[in-house]
Structure 1
């Protein structure tokens, strides 16, 4: 396991780590925006399948704190800096949630630098109206399974200012809705917040606003229809974000395969590690991550 510092073209230092043996790595793009790499379990699951590269996006986690800019174009450039740093002519990319959007954005910007793309638990390419309303209702319903959690989350959310301890508590409560085991959900949600680096709220707000402006446009659909890259879409059927939102992407991409794990949610590797690993293992053998891609 090797920890490195990647320098972007505008002078921001990014934390990165490569683990596993020799061979072409799978580059992982974490969720957020404004969070940090939480792919330790994924790296472990794939230890005998492929080496992996993990990294923290700018201004987040172990990467250098900075003032942005918070744009998809800038984050795509940062991801390209990771590619260059590790000497990769073409990348196999896996993105989760917001990271799936980032990985797709990179593939659209630089299709010649992508061997394959794995799109995990994203929200498709349609407008927010395709998914956000249902997501918010499902979120409140799940959190209300334990009324004391909902009450505490609302109390923390209403605070004008929060300490880092309160920020972490609110995040754990919020992330707990992602797990089907409602009684035991606080434990895996707590692992997501350990270690705690603090959420970059500005990055989160600005990038989410950008998505509302850009996603769902005819130009995006057209670009996806032209993307000649093999893509594996992995969904957890129990994700509180409606999976129908991803249909827009699956239908637009000319070379897409889709795996839906029936008993998993937004973090499919956590609730169905065997199914998640097998989907990736088979994809690795089938698509060979761009070295000899399927027709």
Structure 2
């Protein structure tokens, strides 16, 4: 079921519901991109009602600002209200994990559980980005000259921008099968909605000015159960998330061996097992799970 929620200031968003059961709202990565979590929705739809949406100015949502973290939180709440949901599980991926965290801090009474997938923590970008940049260049491999050439241009055509993104996204799928990685990246880019650079620039700039100390204190008061899900082969160093894990009072962490930034792609069974509610289990805990089709799930 596809719907068009309205934000508080009248912007139109794209949203879709699949499955039945307790509600799970997905928050896609970016910022400036669109929902690429269709496979996650398919994995969960036999046990939950899954809600996907394109963030403001992105994908199928109205291309209209302004863009901010608080505005993104308000837009997410507009999606919740549109579907008449009293409280939800939030599953955020990458930047969407940060958005889901900010929503939980602002509206803890509306969040039953937070699933923080492949995020980069609450510390400064300088703590992890140089290592990520080095890892990315290595993972792009023989396509690096082409990627760098596209990236250095002031203006890209839509086709060039898409090609640049596909080359970069393919690096996020680990393993020797680079044809598979390229196919998965092509799938993420199809259909192509174009990157909203204004949205990305403004939100990234805002997050870089946020106080790590204040976020740490706020997270320490969050009384929402959280599970952090990492792919051990993510190009973004997973140590960047440690301070967030240490700040949260009710948190578990699962690392999927052999998985990358989109861990459901390499280990779908392990991913579902990690994000599914763990009955009778609360509080801190770390777990490493073997990746691949034979992973625990």
Same fold (TM over 0.5): yes
Which residue is 1:127 aligned to?
124
Deviations for 1:217-238, whole angstroms, at most 9, x for unmatched residues?
2111100000000001000010
- Using the TM superposition, name which of 124-133 and 188-197 deviates more: 124-133
Q: How large is the Cα RMSD of the aligned pairs?
A: 1.2
Match of 1:205 among 201, 207, 227: 201
Post-superposition offset of 1:65: 1.0
Equivalent position of 2:81 in the other structure = 84
Give the counterpart of 2:166 among 168, 172, 177: 172
Range that drifts further, 226-235 or 180-189: 180-189
- Alignment match, 1:39: 37
Post-superposition shift, 1:284? 5.5
**Secondary structure class of the residue paired with 1:6:** coil
**Large movers: runs of 4+ above 6 Å:** none
- Partner deviation per Cα, 1:80-136 (whole Å, 9 max, x = no partner): 001100111111100000000000000011111111100000001111122111111
Match of 2:225 among 219, 227, 230: 230
The Cα of 1:150 is off from its aligned counterpart by 0.6
Alignment partner of 1:103 is 2:92: no
Normalised by the length of structure 1, the TM-score is: 0.92
Displacement of 1:181 after TM fit? 2.8
Shift in Å at residue 159 of structure 1?
A: 1.6
CA distance in 2: counterparts of 1:277 and 1:268, whole angstroms: 10
Bigger relative contact order (CA 8 A; separation at least 6): 1
* Alignment-derived partner of residue 149 in structure 2: 155
Q: Cα distance, 1:157 vs. partner?
A: 1.1
Pairwise CA distance, 1:152: 0.7
Gaps of 5+ in 1: 288-293
Within the alignment, does 1:258 sit opposite 2:257 as a pair? no
Structure 2 unmatched runs, 5+: 284-297
Is 1:71 the equivalent of 2:65? no
* TM-score normalised per structure 2: 0.92
Aligned position for 2:182? 186
Who is 1:12 aligned against?
Answer: 11
**Cα offsets for 1:185-240 (capped at 9, x unmatched):** 211111110110000011111111111111x5211110000000000100001001
178-187 vs 123-132, greater mean Cα deviation: 178-187
